[in-house]
């Protein structure tokens, strides 16, 4: 099916977070898809994302076109303050509000401006089965009927779904590239600096590497009376780092 979509001239969109999985996915796709059929999109999370994300992406995608998008109405911290609560695994407004919706908006705009793709798009994401039991149940390739409207034919694809963490880092090394600096800083994954899904160790590391942002998170927790950690304990207790 992928070969057929390439032959049909589909646009392949790389959702790039600057993390290791996005990087390994880009390496794989550049071997499969002609460059003129590729687009990289990064959802810029502003103050809550890791320093150097955009620079890292630019340094590893070669000449591929890059669109940096964001929620045009509110930041992540604005969203939390307005709702009076942090996202949860079952209600991940951070993903829909700050990432998926802005990215899909840009894809629609790009397809409209580039009629040569005929509305045919493959939206590629670096989700892997090994990341979690929930992600292992995802479908690696599917047509998205809800986005296949207005002359569009839209597919979602997970090109590195079967790779292990070790294989991801090996693919990056084999390509002569290095991962984002935060991994060398001690992080096991790269999402928001402070993620609701992060381990205690990653939260401690993130707090040590980003003390000013950590202070803002702690202060926001106290102001809205709601903790961001899935342990339902204040960040200061989870990390052991007082503000």
Report whether pLDDT(134) > 90: no
pLDDT band at 88 (very low <50, low <70, confident <90, very high): confident
Report whether pLDDT(21) > 80: yes
Tell me what pLDDT residue 175 has. Answer: 98
Q: Count CB-CB contacts under 10 A for residue 68.
A: 16
Report whether pLDDT(231) > 90: no
Which pair of tokens denotes residue 201?
């160790």
Domain 2-165 CATH superfamily:
HUPs (3.40.50.620)
pLDDT band at 58 (very low <50, low <70, confident <90, very high): very high
Strands 120-124 and 11-15: parallel
Tell me what pLDDT residue 95 has. Answer: 80
Ranges of each domain in the chain: 2-165
Whether this model's pTM surpasses 0.85: yes
Sheet holding 153-157, edge to edge: 66-69, 38-43, 11-15, 120-124, 153-157, 141-143
Tell me what pLDDT residue 93 has. Answer: 72
Q: Report the candidate in 92, 39, 96 with the shortest Cα–Cα distance to residue 62.
A: 39
* φ, ψ at 231 (rounded to 5°): -75, -10
Taking every pair of Cα atoms in the chain, the longest distance, rounded to a whole number of angstroms, is 57
Tell me what pLDDT residue 91 has. Answer: 74
């Amino acid at each position: 099916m992928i070969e057929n979509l390439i032959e049909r001239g589909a646009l392949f969109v790389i959702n790039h977070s600057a993390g290791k999985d996005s990087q390994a996915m880009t390496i794989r796709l550049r071997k499969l898809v002609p460059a003129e059929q590729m687009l990289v999109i990064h959802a810029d999370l502003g103050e809550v994302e890791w320093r150097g994300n955009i620079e890292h992406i630019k340094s590893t995608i070669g000449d591929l076109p890059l669109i940096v998008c964001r929620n045009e109405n509110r930041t992540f911290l604005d969203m939390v303050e307005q709702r009076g609560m942090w996202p949860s695994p079952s209600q991940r407004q951070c993903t829909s509000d700050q990432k998926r919706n802005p990215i899909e908006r840009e894809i629609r705009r790009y397809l409209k401006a580039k009629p040569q793709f005929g509305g045919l798009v493959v939206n590629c994401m670096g989700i892997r089965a090994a990341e979690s039991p929930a992600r292992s149940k995802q479908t690696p390739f599917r047509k998205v009927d809800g986005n296949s409207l207005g002359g569009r034919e839209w597919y979602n694809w997970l090109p590195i779904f079967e790779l292990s963490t070790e294989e991801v880092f090996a693919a990056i090394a084999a390509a002569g590239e290095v991962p984002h600096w935060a991994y060398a800083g001690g992080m096991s994954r790269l999402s928001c600096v402070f993620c609701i899904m992060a381990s205690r160790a990653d939260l401690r590391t993130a707090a040590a590497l980003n003390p000013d942002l950590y202070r803002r998170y702690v202060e926001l927790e106290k102001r809205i009376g709601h903790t961001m950690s899935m342990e339902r304990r204040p960040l200061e207790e989870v990390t052991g780092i007082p503000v």
